[in-house]
């Protein structure tokens, strides 16, 4: 009996020490992320402004305009990476306010409409008119992350479905795609920081999304079938 208690105590101490080490590593990563992001942020803003001026000076038929547009898109991607790093290093407390969920989702969809059309992805919605007490900017960030992930899973076309439902206690937002799906071995790691199944990206989008939803006293779940598609479900209290 004493041996079992000692073994249990030793195991608890080991787990506690591992958690402390993990937290120290995360704190160090947070400090590093903040330093790197601040070093890049201002020069990148200057580069973006200069490129936009160059593009405006070019005629619509100028073949260089397409190259400049591609460069600008890469700059915007880097800017998003910096924002992700800062959000990882300094997560903000949600600023709750009454928010029309239908309007918020529709605004978020409008941000990816052009990309969806280019990829021949059809967006379908079934959204209820519901008001929630949330931080609209943070929830929009979560939705945008999920929509972008779905579009990246369907480079050659497909269907993206956004639905909402609710009961007496919770609202559910589902983002479902007909993309290539996620391998079963990747599912447990999806919400870990810096974990990505793609060659590009920080691997912070889903980690940040999970933290945001949990700060709203909700949760986020994923189901996926390789070759058929993926479904993310966000639960938020009503």
Work out whether strand 158-166 and strand 121-126 pair parallel, antiparallel, or are unpaired.
parallel
HSE, CB side, 13 Å, CA atoms: give it for residue 133: 5
> Which is more confident, 30 or 71?
71
In the chain, CATH 1.10.287 sits at 2-89
CATH topology of domain 2-89: Helix Hairpins (1.10.287)
In the chain, CATH 3.30.565.10 sits at 97-237
CATH topology of domain 97-237: Heat Shock Protein 90 (3.30.565)
Over the stretch 121-178, which tens digit does the pLDDT of each residue have?
A: 999 999 989 999 999 999 999 999 999 999 999 999 999 999 999 999 999 999 999 9
Work out whether strand 97-100 and strand 170-177 pair parallel, antiparallel, or are unpaired.
unpaired
Over the stretch 179-229, which tens digit does the pLDDT of each residue have?
A: 999 999 999 888 887 777 765 666 788 888 999 999 999 999 999 999 999
Two tokens, residue 169 = 């206690």
Over the stretch 25-65, which tens digit does the pLDDT of each residue have?
A: 656 666 666 676 667 777 888 888 888 888 888 888 888 88
């Amino acid at each position: 009996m004493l041996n079992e208690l000692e073994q249990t105590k030793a195991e608890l101490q080991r787990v506690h020490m591992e958690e402390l080490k993990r937290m120290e590593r995360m704190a160090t990563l947070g400090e590093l992320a903040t330093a790197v992001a601040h070093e890049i942020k201002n020069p990148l803003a200057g580069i973006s402004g200069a490129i936009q001026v160059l593009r405006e000076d070019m005629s619509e038929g100028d073949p260089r305009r397409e190259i400049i547009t591609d460069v600008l898109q890469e700059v915007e991607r880097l800017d998003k990476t910096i924002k992700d790093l800062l959000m990882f290093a300094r997560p903000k407390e949600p600023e709750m306010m009454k928010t029309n969920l239908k309007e918020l989702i529709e605004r978020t969809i409008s941000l990816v409409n052009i990309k969806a059309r280019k990829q021949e992805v059809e967006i379908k919605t079934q959204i209820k008119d519901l008001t929630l007490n949330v931080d609209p900017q943070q929830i929009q960030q979560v939705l945008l992350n999920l929509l972008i992930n779905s579009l990246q899973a369907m480079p050659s076309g497909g269907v993206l479905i956004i639905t909402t439902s609710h009961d007496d206690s919770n609202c559910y937002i589902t983002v479902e795609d007909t993309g290539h799906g996620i391998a079963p071995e990747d599912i447990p790691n999806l919400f870990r920081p810096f974990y990505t199944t793609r060659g590009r990206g920080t691997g912070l989008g889903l980690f940040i999304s999970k933290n945001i939803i949990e700060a709203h006293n909700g949760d986020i779940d994923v189901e996926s079938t390789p070759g058929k598609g993926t479904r993310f479900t966000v639960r938020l209290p009503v």
